[in-house]
Structure 1
Amino acid sequence: MTVDVPVPAMEITAGEYAARLDAVRHKMEKQALAALLITDPANLYYLTGYNAWSFYTPQVLFVPAEGDLIFFAREMDANGAFRTSRLPVDQIIGYPETYVHRPHVHPFDWVAYKLRKLGLIAAAASGYVGLEMDSQFFSPKAYRALFNAIPEWNFVDCFELVNWVRVIKSPAEIELMRAAGKVCTAAMNTAIEHVRVGARQCDVAAAISAAQMAGTSEFGGDYPAIVPMMPTGVEADTPHLTWNDRPFNAGQGVVIELAGVYRRYHTPLARTVMLGKPSEQLTNVADAVGEGMTAVLETVRPGVEARDLAKAWNWTLAKFGLEKPSRIGYSIGVGYPPDWGERTISLRTEDETVLAENMTFHLIGGMWMDNYGFELSESIRVTASGVEQFTGFPLELIIKED
């Protein structure tokens, strides 16, 4: 007797993968694309489930308007694609090791030859072939190899086609991000506990990384797309700094930005820890950012535009005599190094994207002043009527005076 086993709520089913591909092909049709070549590892994961540290070498997924997907990877990684992706073995092709890191040939020379041998060039010559021209994983040399080897194809930028399909999350993806939120909570609690006077920055970074990898008893962690960032003291006036081997000193502010990761889904979070009594300047900035973040969260709901969130932020900051020229957030979800952003929606005054239920964002209230800084961020979901925060930390400066 066969017993039906229910699919766990956060599993990505075969039906969901099929729906993702259908959505991609619908956008391809609108852009008159006869084929699409995907190199971004986040998009490879989204469409196939492939998950390995192989993106430092050329790899590409061939997506025709009709027919089977074909994934080309380094020969030694082909079995990894078979083990982790949903693709059958006959749709995974490894290119020879002799093409790896050679000055006068490129793996895409071989990929183009194989596509021609499989009879797939002519069908895609009827329209345009989309490329991920702004992907960190598609080099000028890769483009040159394809352009020279397949003169029949008209290459165009696909303008982050798959990334835009990823913007609205499925219920299963939301559950994965909730799990990542729990991992994030554990990692941030570890960070706050370990940041203390006398502790070396590198030791705190190690503790954070261990917490990110370990996760919780319920959800094991994963490696983040971005390492923990900890601008400290006067260096807190600059974002995106990591750590060194110096100890934390009394009177320093420490900006901590990290992410919880579960099955490649990211929920970033930032908080600022003050080791001692904060200055009046820092207190005022922290109050402004906390009030501004509250205003943004109260604005989030389906139907408002991305720029409305930026306006709520800007109006609040203006009351404190402050301004922030950079964007206040961006869309998030699946992430691989070097970035956890989806490279689609930016929360700034120029972005007219209309928010919809199950869009997910990293809201960033970062203020980089003269010789000090303050950052507070939240990962959120747009709900049917408002907002869900993936973590539950207070929107305030964390003060450790002991």
Structure 2
Amino acid sequence: MHRRGLDVVALTSPESVYYYAGLDHLGYFAFTLLVIPHDGAPVLVARAMERPTLRAQVPWLRHRAFLDGAGPAREIAVVLAGVVPRGGRVGLERSGMFLPPVLDAQIASAVPSATVHDVTTMLRDRRAVKSPAEIACTRQAARISDLAMAAALAAAGGGSATGRGNGGGLTDTKVAAQAVHTMIAEGGQTPGFAPLVRPTAALDQEHVTWSGRELRPGEGLFVELSGCVQRYHAPLSRTVYLGRTPPGAKRAHAAALAGLRAAEAALCPGATAAAVYTAWQEAVTAGGPSRTGRRPPLRHHCGYLVGIGFPPSWVGGGDVLGLRADSRAVVREGMTFHLMSWTTRPLGHVVSDTVLVTADGCERLTATPRDLTVL
């Protein structure tokens, strides 16, 4: 704040409020604003009914409460008027999911003589490199991710008595139930996303999950999930096959795995996100055009920064630092990424892991085997 000449920073995303203040609850669906002045105590604008939680978790914050039905505009104005000097500079986190345009405008009108500066990227960059304590949480989350994946795949293979539906068939719901049970039983919190469990016929429906559908021999099953420890996530995904592999599965698995390994090799301090994407792209397409003469279509990214996450996401909000062809972001030691290798030809196949950027490369944190798996 001092370097940028900011008198006040106002945080609106759950991830930022948690990172700077430690408030861990599921009440972020209602507007929450953490106001940090350059001098003086921080103030939290939040629903009145959250007062007991705030007293228990963040008693050192001043709480400016608003009642249901009244809205937070008046309280925002009172707080900002008390901490922003005339002609001051306010840094505002413009979180797309948690700052409605009407409240963005009200924040500006509450301090008419001040200038408002978008600090969303600055705050995201501050959270990008993890401390040793944050890395320890991520390692614990990775352990839970592996255990939950093992439970899900055991159920999909008929290895759990509770994996059978009422009609005797295996359903995607029962697979998800085993994953969720394990995540909680092993000490994890509610993750930002529920486990994503669906047949590969619906693989391109990226954010849908179980529906009670019966799984059938010969089809693929996609499972993506993440353990969560103190709000830190370590996602992974696997594509497996039930009973037998369909034509093209071995080629798709080989291409996806080659891409993931190439991305791991390229992910090191100083590399750009675009360079990592290029390494992944070249590995996935190394087999050349398909029999139709066309190269396989490629994803818009091969992974993204991961860490603190609250529902409805484990990526830390809508502004995601992705490993994309057009990104100039520089990889730094201490970042954690969900590396994804997703192919669509000759058929859809996905394999992904969470990795930690180290001083000389990257370390894989999730340890679930990457073999072509037939259950």
TM (norm. structure 1) is: 0.83
Candidates 44, 49, 71, aligned match of 1:106: 71
User: Following superposition of structure 1 onto structure 2, how do residues 155-166 of structure 1 map, counting pairs within 5 Å?
Assistant: 155-166=116-127
The answer (yes or no) to whether the contact 1:253–1:273 under 8 Å persists in 2 is yes
Contact 1:317 1:323 in 2 (8 A): no
Name the counterpart of 1:93: 63
Question: Alignment partner for residue 385 of structure 1, among 353, 360, 365?
Answer: 360
| 1:197-276 equivalent positions in 2, closer than 5 A | 198-215=169-186, 220-276=187-243
Please give the secondary structure, in 1, of the residue aligned with 2:315: strand
Q: Which amino acid aligns with 1:244?
A: S
1:109, 1:145 within 8 Å by CA — same for their partners in 2? no
1:331-375 superposed Cα distances (whole Å, 9 cap, x missing partner): 1111101111143532112222222211110101122458x5211
C-alpha separation in 2, matches of 1:74 and 1:106: 9
Q: Which position in structure 2 is the counterpart of 1:126?
A: 88
Contact 2:8–2:83 (Cα < 8 Å) also in 1:
no
Equivalent position to 2:322, from 346, 357, 361: 346
Q: Percent identity?
A: 29
- CA shift at 1:323, angstroms? 4.1
- Residues 1:41 and 2:41 are matched in the alignment: no
* Aligned residue identity for 2:349: F
Q: Residues 233 and 120 from structure 1, CA distance in 2 versus in 1: closer, same or farther, beyond 3 angstroms?
A: closer
Amino acid corresponding to residue 121 of structure 1 in structure 2: V
The residue correspondences of 1:174-185 to structure 2 (distance < 5 A) are 174-185=135-146
Q: Give 3-state SS (helix, strand or coil) of 2:203's partner.
A: helix
Match of 2:333 among 327, 343, 357: 357
Unaligned runs of 5+ in 2: 159-168, 289-295
Kindly report the root-mean-square deviation, in angstroms, between the aligned alpha carbons of the 2 structures. 1.9
Q: Determine the structure 1 residue equivalent to 2:164.
A: none
TM-score, length of structure 2 as denominator length? 0.89
Contact 1:224 1:336 in 2 (8 A): yes
For residues 147 and 38 of structure 2, the distance between their equivalents in structure 1, rounded to whole angstroms, comes to 44
Letter matched to residue 220 of structure 2: G
Gaps of 5+ in 1: 1-24
Q: Do the aligned partners of 1:187 and 1:208 also contact (CA within 8 Å) in 2?
A: yes
Matches of 1:208 and 1:244 in 2, distance apart? 15
1:330 to 295, 298, 304: 304
One-letter amino acid of the counterpart of residue 76, structure 2: V
Q: Distance in 2 between matches of 1:228 and 1:320?
A: 32
The 2-side partners of 1:121 and 1:354 are apart by: 34
Q: How does 1:51-66 map to 2 (within 5 A)?
A: 51-66=24-39
Paired residue for 2:342?
366
Q: Is the 8 A contact 1:51 1:81 kept in 2?
A: no
Indicate the larger mover: 165-174 or 58-67: 58-67
Query: Structure 2: which amino acid aligns with 1:284?
Result: R
